[in-house]
Structure 1
Amino acid sequence: MALFAPALAGCTDKGSEPGTSGSGTPAVPADAKEALLASTKEITEGNFRFSMKGADLDGQGVVHKPSKSAQMTMKAGEGEFSMDMEIIYIEPDSWVKLSITGAEGVPGLESLNSGKYQHLDQSKIKGTGGLGFTFKDVDPAGSEALTRAVVDVQKTGEGTYTGTIDLTRATGAGMVNEDSVQLLGAEATNLPFEAKLDAEGRLSTMTIKLPAVGGGTAQELTVSYSDYGAASPATAPPASEVVEASPETYELFDK
């Protein structure tokens, strides 16, 4: 039961404003909840690297708002099925490259597995889950929505925090799948988490621990951020490796 959604779009509601020290370095709020809320502020600047990991998903990438570009690679799978996906977005264009196994008999599979980057028609991906991106929502995980859903939190060390989170209050976050949250039932309202902030009080990692449900196993979902303000722009694929996206590509992600 993976809670990650295979998408770049996330949630970036405005968080609390951290204070500043006399040296100009942001001061980390003494209150643990306020420290977590403030830790997501710089994510909204849209210049960072990130990774997201769960039992059946491993994703990473970069968001670079100064160049209006973003890139993400993702590996997902359960049982015999697996999918590798890379998305590149350089406004106003975007491309996706897919490699799918365990889906024999699916119409258009050969086109999906062409080994080429498929150039996407922006007019065809409105509302299409997993293919769209907007710089109005730059966080792939929606960490601000997650920190707002924290029920209680304590500081346990320098830059480290633990507590509980109510995922029913964070279904708008990019890394949270609402159907999977419903499977957790009442347990979704009180899940343990751990968070680490860097020396400047910015969110470094957040890990949410999920119990075993429906015959599955317990999981840990982790989102990490790095290279704040120092990420590299995404680059477009070579023209020789690009084809126009097939109808099956849009249908695969339509929801």
Structure 2
Amino acid sequence: MKKHRDPLLTIVVAGVAALALTACGGDKTVSGPEPAGSASASAADPRAALAAAASGLAAGDYAFTSDTPAAHTEGVVHLPSRSSTITSRNRDDNGSSELRTVGADHWLRLAVNPADIDRELADIEAGGAQMKPVADGLRHAKVLFDGKTWMHTDLSRIKDDRLGPDLSDPDVTGVTKLFAAVLTAGGDARQITGTVDLSRAGNTIGYPAREVTIMGNAAKSVPFTARLDDKGRLAHLELAMPATETFPAGTWAIDVTGYSAQKPVAKPTGVIKEMPADVYALLNS
């Protein structure tokens, strides 16, 4: 599929992935337990402050809002009930997605313009018989990707973890692994700037490994700015992301709010179906 205009890839990778961690609002947070290491204790060591900042996410009770050049994403994680929801909409407004997790179950709801699917289908059918599984998936998608149908989904059947979290790691944003790949860091107890090597961060930020590879050397020293709240928890993070085949260059940011203040996410209601095999093939293409 043509990566520069593929709405399905943009939705799944830019929006749903747990990593979508980009920001829009302010950095208001709700009081909760102290993270491991307070802001004052780690102020002299920016790396330690970043590690402590991510500990609030590891507790698994927070909300986040993110923005990339491609999509706007919002999410809620409530680890006590093992539930979460991540909703994303493309910047060009040609598609949206929601991934909901409750316990061991996952449901995906996608809305894609049927005309976009027809264009992709024409491209794929031109690829010959070897593209038949993907073409079959797109035909099925015209019915299922109506923005109303929930597909009960086995995340283990989706390669690259591209659909998002199973809550085995409560930090669905990927910030913890990102901070582990920091190269340089400086600042004070409330704001830290530096660089991070995305090639060491893994598939944790909504950019699959292949996209980071496309960035080349630019991925090895990406500037970031992190703002912490008065308890030393992450409130806001921005990265100056290089361009890839799928995503333009631009600011990738996240705001984290509502620490220790979330409620359980309910199972979806309405039209619910099992995800068909050909749609799994499509999402893995």
TM-score with structure 2 length normalisation?
0.73
Q: Name the SS of the counterpart of 1:199 in structure 2.
A: coil
In 2, are the aligned partners of 1:150 and 1:163 still within 8 Å (CA)? yes
Whether 1:89 and 2:121 are equivalent positions in the alignment is: no
In 2, are the aligned partners of 1:153 and 1:164 still within 8 Å (CA)? yes
**How far off is 1:77 after superposition?**
6.3
Give deviations 1:108-127, integer Å, cap 9, x for gaps.
Answer: 132222443324153xx314
**How far off is 1:158 after superposition?**
5.2
**How far off is 1:220 after superposition?**
0.8
Whether 1:7 and 2:38 are equivalent positions in the alignment is: no
The aligned residue for residue 171 of structure 2 is 139
**How far off is 1:144 after superposition?**
0.9
Whether 1:251 and 2:261 are equivalent positions in the alignment is: no
Give deviations 1:189-231, integer Å, cap 9, x for gaps.
Answer: 1121110111100011111102456798531111221111111
Distance 1:62 1:31 in 2: 30
Gaps of 5+ in 2: 5-9, 21-34, 122-137
Of residues 44, 52, 61 in structure 2, which corresponds to 1:30? Answer: 44
**How far off is 1:145 after superposition?**
1.0
**How far off is 1:43 after superposition?**
0.8
Give deviations 1:28-80, integer Å, cap 9, x for gaps.
Answer: 442111101111012111111012221112211101011111111012367xx
Q: Name the SS of the counterpart of 1:39 in structure 2.
A: helix
In 1, are the aligned partners of 2:211 and 2:246 still within 8 Å (CA)? no
Between Structure 1 and Structure 2, which shows a larger proportion of strand residues?
A: 1
Distance 1:249 1:34 in 2: 43
Which segment is superposed worse, 101-110 or 192-201? Answer: 101-110
Of residues 210, 218, 236 in structure 2, which corresponds to 1:205? Answer: 236
Whether 1:110 and 2:142 are equivalent positions in the alignment is: yes
C-alpha spacing 1:215/1:87, structure 2 compared with 1 (3 Å): closer
Alignment of 1:161-172 (within 5 A): 161-172=192-203
Q: Name the SS of the counterpart of 1:40 in structure 2.
A: helix
TM-score with structure 1 length normalisation?
0.81
Distance 2:51 2:109 in 1: 35
- Which residue identity is paired with 2:96? D
In 2, are the aligned partners of 1:145 and 1:172 still within 8 Å (CA)? no
Of residues 38, 46, 55 in structure 1, which corresponds to 2:60? Answer: 46
Distance 2:218 2:59 in 1: 34
Higher relative contact order (CA 8 A, sep 6+): 2
Between Structure 1 and Structure 2, which shows a larger proportion of helix residues?
A: 2
C-alpha spacing 1:77/1:111, structure 2 compared with 1 (3 Å): farther
In 2, are the aligned partners of 1:112 and 1:249 still within 8 Å (CA)? no
Alignment of 1:65-84 (within 5 A): 65-76=79-90, 82-84=94-96
Q: Name the SS of the counterpart of 1:188 in structure 2.
A: helix
In 2, are the aligned partners of 1:9 and 1:137 still within 8 Å (CA)? no
- Which residue identity is paired with 1:205? H
Distance 2:101 2:238 in 1: 27
In 2, are the aligned partners of 1:209 and 1:219 still within 8 Å (CA)? yes
Of residues 224, 228, 232 in structure 1, which corresponds to 2:255? Answer: 224
